[in-house]
A and B are shown apart, each in its own frame.
Chain A
Amino acid sequence: EAGVAQSPRYKIIEKRQSVAFWCNPISGHATLYWYQQILGQGPKLLIQFQNNGVVDDSQLPKDRFSAERLKGVDSTLKIQPAKLEDSAVYLCASSLTSPHQPQHFGDGTRLSIL
């Protein structure tokens, strides 16, 4: 099966600019996650979708980050305006909804803020 697709792979922007990331999950996976992985740390959940509804966005900095999954398939994550501390890899993952189903990760977007 095709894996989780993410684009772009790399992005370099200046602080205060905006940026958007795209994720296409594995077909049939109703649950979609966005994670932030700062260098040397484990992934930190930003937002979790079940179909097109938000399950958890408690760790999403809502003053600058937003995410949507309008048709319950693809998702976009946006940062506006970007800060230096947003430099990280942004990972998308998807899973089936049934209990004990593993997450499948994309290779992420590496964001560098100048």
Chain B
Amino acid sequence: GENVEQHPSTLSVQEGDSAVIKCTYSDSASNYFPWYKQELGKGPQLIIDIRSNVGEKKDQRIAVTLNKTAKHFSLHITETQPEDSAVYFCAARNTGNQFYFGTGTSLTVIP
């Protein structure tokens, strides 16, 4: 099956700085890579996603890059704000439509 690794497990940044979270996956057939933000007591919420035929996607302060050859993808948050503080999960979906999640990154934005 698919194996998704995520780093770092914790990340602290000053407000206004950028944050980068990286994930690697093992199944070269995986074709869809969403990122989720999970706040305390809530379910994961999709914040951005990327398909395997695209190298980069941006939505305001959030961007995701995908390197299919190296089998890694990254989340970039620019101009971080305190409300960005949460746990972020990457995921990879295989051709069987199953999703495999990383272990999460706890992001703290310091005002």
Q: Which residues of B contact A56 (CB under 8 A)?
A: 96, 98
Contact, CB under 8 Å: B43 / A107? yes
Contact, CB under 8 Å: B49 / A102? yes
Closest residue of A by beta carbon distance from B43 = A105
Q: Which residues of A contact B89 (CB under 8 A)?
A: 42-43
Q: Which residues of A contact B96 (CB under 8 A)?
A: 55-56
Q: Is the interface of A mostly helix, strand, loop or mixed?
A: loop
**Is B82 among interface residues, defined by CB-CB distance under 8 A?**
no
Contact, CB under 8 Å: A33 / B44? no
User: Taking the nearest CB of chain A, how far is it from the CB of B81, in angstroms?
Assistant: 23
- In the bound complex, CA of A106 to CA of B36 (Å): 13
Stretch at the interface among B55-63, B71-79, B99-107: B99-107
Return the CB mask of B83-99 against A: 1 if under 8 Å, else 0: 00000010100001111
Which chain B residues in 36-61 approach chain A with CB under 8 Å? 36, 41-46, 49, 51
- In the bound complex, CA of A44 to CA of B99 (Å): 9
Q: Which of B43, B45, B99 has the most CB of A within 10 A?
A: B43
Residue positions of A touching B, CB distance < 8 A? 4, 31, 33, 40-45, 48, 55-56, 91, 93, 97, 99-100, 102-108
